[in-house]
Every structure is written in structure tokens, then in C-alpha cells.
């Protein structure tokens, strides 16, 4: 959702050098590496981007959120808004480590399809509602802290998504084959599901 004007200027803090690097990086993408101890993306190149859509709101997001070692504040605001609790329209700052895990997993899957976001931030009220309907919703879910996302892809299986997220060794990964989605978070490294 970061918009470029006809002249190539942006409404965020992207430098001309960074923008040129972004275009160059779309041609060749290096495989990301992770720090297992820190639990966040390191060495992912000069540019990080994320692409998602929501079947609930009809919105789509495709943005570069990190260039040359710096997060782009305006792009992160867009991510926060996109990943809001759509039931009551509340937002929180989404943990950038989670966004990095999502982006790195997506890069490992080598697909141009954007993620379908099923659940990002959940307000405590929404989490309690979902918990009353399903035993699979944790009382102290990392969704409440803006540290988790439930994601789906049409052109990749749940097993493929699960393995890509596991390869990052950067947080929690849950496989929900029956519901066709994968949970990714920036918490303690762990995994679950069938």
C-alpha cells in the first residue's frame, strides 16, 4: 500500500538509493537466514516486503516495509491497520519480528501469491469470543499482543507453509490442516499441529 507518485517520490521515508535497490532486489532475491536465539530475520537482503489480502475486509496490502537496515514507519502503520481486529476495528503495533517471519517464510515458498490473512491482531474481547467457540484458541494468545498471524495460501499446502516457517527457527508454528492454515508467531520456538 506504499504509494509512489508519477515522479517516483513516495509519501514515506524511502530514499532514491533505497528505491533503486528495491527494484533491483525484485529481480534477484537472496535466501534469508535467521538467528535462532534472537528469533527474527537477519541478512534478508536490502529490502523486505510483505503481500497479503483479507477475505473479511476485501483489502489487500503489498508493501516494502524495510530497506537497507531500517523499517519504514509509514509501511508499518499500513501493516498495523491491515492486520487489525476487523471485528471491532482496533489496531495495535504488530511486532516486526512476526512480519519478518511471515516475509521470510513466504520467500522460502517461492510464490508470487499473497498470503490470505485469517487472523492478525485480536482484541481481548475477540479472543474471548473465539475461545468460547473453539478449544483451539489460547487464553493468552500472542494474537492479543500483535505477535501472531494465521495465514493461508492457495498455491502451497499447509505442510509446505509449515515446513517453510519451521525452517526459519524463529518462533511458534502451528499447523491446522483441517482448517487449511498455518499460525506463525515470534514467541518461543515451538511447533504443534497435524
Give the model confidence (pLDDT) of 76-99 as tens digits: 999 999 999 999 999 999 999 999
How far apart CA 57 and CA 40 sit, in angstroms, is 29
User: Which domains does the chain show, CATH number per domain?
Assistant: 39-193 (3.30.1380)
What average pLDDT does the segment 109-135 reach? 91
Task: Specify the pairing of strand 148-152 against strand 70-71.
Answer: unpaired
Banded pLDDT at 44 (limits 50, 70, 90): low
- Residue 174: strand pairing partners: 183, 192
**Alpha-helix residue ranges (DSSP H) falling in 10-157:** 16-27, 73-82, 96-109, 124-133
Share of the chain above pLDDT 90, in %: 66
Amino acid at each position: 500500500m506504499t504509494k509512489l507518485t508519477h515522479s517516483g517520490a513516495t509519501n514515506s521515508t524511502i530514499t532514491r538509493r533505497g528505491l533503486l535497490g528495491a527494484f533491483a532486489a525484485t529481480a534477484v532475491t537472496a535466501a534469508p537466514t535467521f538467528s535462532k536465539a534472537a528469533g527474527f530475520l537477519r541478512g534478508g537482503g536490502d529490502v523486505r516486503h510483505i503481500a497479503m489480502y483479507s477475505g473479511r475486509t476485501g483489502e489487500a496490502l503489498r508493501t516494502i516495509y524495510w530497506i537497507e537496515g531500517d523499517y519504514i514507519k509509514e509501511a508499518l502503520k499500513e501493516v498495523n491497520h491491515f492486520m487489525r481486529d476487523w471485528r471491532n476495528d482496533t489496531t495495535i503495533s504488530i511486532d516486526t519480528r512476526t512480519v519478518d517471519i511471515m516475509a521470510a517464510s513466504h520467500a522460502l515458498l517461492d510464490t508470487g501469491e499473497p498470503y490470505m490473512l485469517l487472523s492478525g491482531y485480536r482484541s481481548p474481547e475477540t479472543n474471548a469470543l473465539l475461545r468460547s467457540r473453539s478449544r483451539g484458541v489460547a487464553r493468552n494468545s500472542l494474537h492479543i499482543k500483535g505477535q501472531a498471524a494465521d495465514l493461508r495460501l492457495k498455491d502451497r499446502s499447509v505442510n509446505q507453509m509449515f515446513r517453510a516457517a519451521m525452517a526459519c527457527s524463529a518462533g511458534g508454528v502451528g499447523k491446522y490442516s483441517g482448517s487449511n492454515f498455518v499460525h506463525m508467531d515470534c514467541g518461543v520456538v515451538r511447533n504443534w499441529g497435524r
